[in-house]
Structure 1
């Protein structure tokens, strides 16, 4: 009874507590650019919107070619709750998909889903052209293509204020440096999980960008190009999404039943865990002091990546029992204790 009451108290506290990783409230909403509001263009736009959503949720370009989803691409309205138009510019078809219907369709197709809790990226984005260079800042007009692309690809994005001090930091030399020491020092005041540095250059009306991403101990980088700032921003965000997704989305067939123990929990941290573990069908089974125990389905790598967003550290496994029998003080043999189950993973704050 005490356990049930404690769970009820924790659940009632959920809505008022913040989480560390950003939870995308509009993960199942897609803004798909269209040329007009004509029926044929609307029909094509709905199909493209579903393709965008599937790629956003799986991070796998091949997922849009799944035979199990072919019927939905022919008739996307099976998965749509509502749609309308956003005049822009650009003109966009705004499509709200039903989360349960989409998730069920993807599961039946054998495709794992990247949940709404995703790493927040702080973007130091420098635009360079013949007229000069400028660091893109929050609330600037030049930030609009970045924000549209980040929403389209399902990436929580932060931009610096780009005041005079930050303009001095966000130079081409610092943004293209192999190590982002100068950028890191200026990023401490922003609540982000990863650091994105982009050097975007315009030449003859075409754009190209060199990007680098630091998340935890890992680094990703690449080059993309686009016909305009919107296309370039979308190419950058798509490339990043596809690099990150394999960390947080288990490969088909890789998920196993795991028991998770987390030490050092409190109410705020419980709320974080609930959101982080949502895509893994996690079930809280026991609370012991500040330790929470869950059962879930995931790969160990997927679980480690997800919990790293809350700065959790993996605890060492309990030592296995010795093969030799123990002996007590009287010289009597004591049966060895059973080894800890191999499917138990332990983390702590």
Structure 2
């Protein structure tokens, strides 16, 4: 994406910590492969391509998009590298890295959602019944930790377990978590710096697993109830529900054939570093095609944005970062570097 500077200004800095997490390996996918034959490799590349489409859009509905599915035979043209590696239990994997620009353009051409690398971090407050009774699922629970790590990574979702130290145990007894007492859960979750949480109970009955709980994120409150045969499959089902719900809020849906130019004023540009950081930040957003500097006046710049969708949806996609916020009058925006 090109940022064209129509005027030059010398301009200074405010810093604020963003609560969103950047998914660093968003374009890397590893899929099982039977062997290193050409046929097996071709099948694995097709599977990796589908996983990438789901991860980048946040929804499995893209697998029904004829434009995207028509490109699966050309999947190698969207790849930058591939290699074989060994996973757990010496399973052979094909590790594929896709190119960000071509993949985003493909999704845009297909009028499919595009979810950038800045995504909300989700706390997992979970309790499970076991031989020892009902226990909290934390970072020391190897089986469940591995299951959720793989599932959340597959969907490109930043996540964390609470520490479940004495402070957590006092704030949220397992009985309260098992009973899904929402006020107690919200109070315990407030200790951590994240964007929302998933709370629920896992029951193991007759060799199968079931989950009952809910997602709480900003103004989103969504109930979940899923079943699966193994911890790994249950975690995949839960991660899929979380991704589908959050992508509804944060993924950008391109509007083909519609003029989406937006003129905005941004204040708080006090150094040239601020100026450059603002332009780089906007240019990196998946919904911004182009940024043009129209005018500058002391600590304020006026920018013309060429967008793939409406400005309100772009603002939603940037809300987690808290870098551009509306001023008190609602007529301009303030840069919070």
TM-score between both structures, scaled by the size of structure 2: 0.79
Unaligned runs of 5+ in 2: none
Tell which has more relative contact order, 1 or 2 (C-alpha 8 A, sep 6+): 2
Q: Which structure has the bigger radius of gyration?
A: 1
Kept in 2: contact 1:31–1:152 (CA 8 A): no
Alignment partner for residue 173 of structure 1, among 176, 184, 187?
A: 176
1:305 match:
316
Instruction: Give the superposition deviation at 1:291.
Output: 4.4
Aligned counterparts of 2:202 and 2:248: Cα–Cα separation in 1: 26
2:261 match:
257
Unaligned runs of 5+ in 1: 319-344
CA 1:76 to 1:157, structure 2 compared with 1: closer, same or farther past 3 Å? same
Kept in 1: contact 2:279–2:291 (CA 8 A): no
Instruction: Give the superposition deviation at 1:265.
Output: 6.1
Aligned counterparts of 2:240 and 2:45: Cα–Cα separation in 1: 19
Kept in 2: contact 1:117–1:275 (CA 8 A): no
2:234 match:
232
Of 41-50 and 216-225, deviating more is: 41-50
CA 1:262 to 1:71, structure 2 compared with 1: closer, same or farther past 3 Å? same
2:291 match:
283
Aligned counterparts of 2:255 and 2:173: Cα–Cα separation in 1: 43
Instruction: Give the superposition deviation at 1:18.
Output: 6.1
Match of 1:210, SS state, is: strand
1:329 match:
none
Instruction: Give the superposition deviation at 1:231.
Output: 0.9
Number of corresponding residues:
317
Aligned counterparts of 1:138 and 1:288: Cα–Cα separation in 2: 51
Aligned counterparts of 1:208 and 1:227: Cα–Cα separation in 2: 9
1:73 aligns with 2:75: no
Kept in 1: contact 2:125–2:161 (CA 8 A): yes
Instruction: Give the superposition deviation at 1:300.
Output: 4.0
Aligned counterparts of 2:31 and 2:159: Cα–Cα separation in 1: 19
2:55 match:
56
Kept in 2: contact 1:24–1:156 (CA 8 A): yes
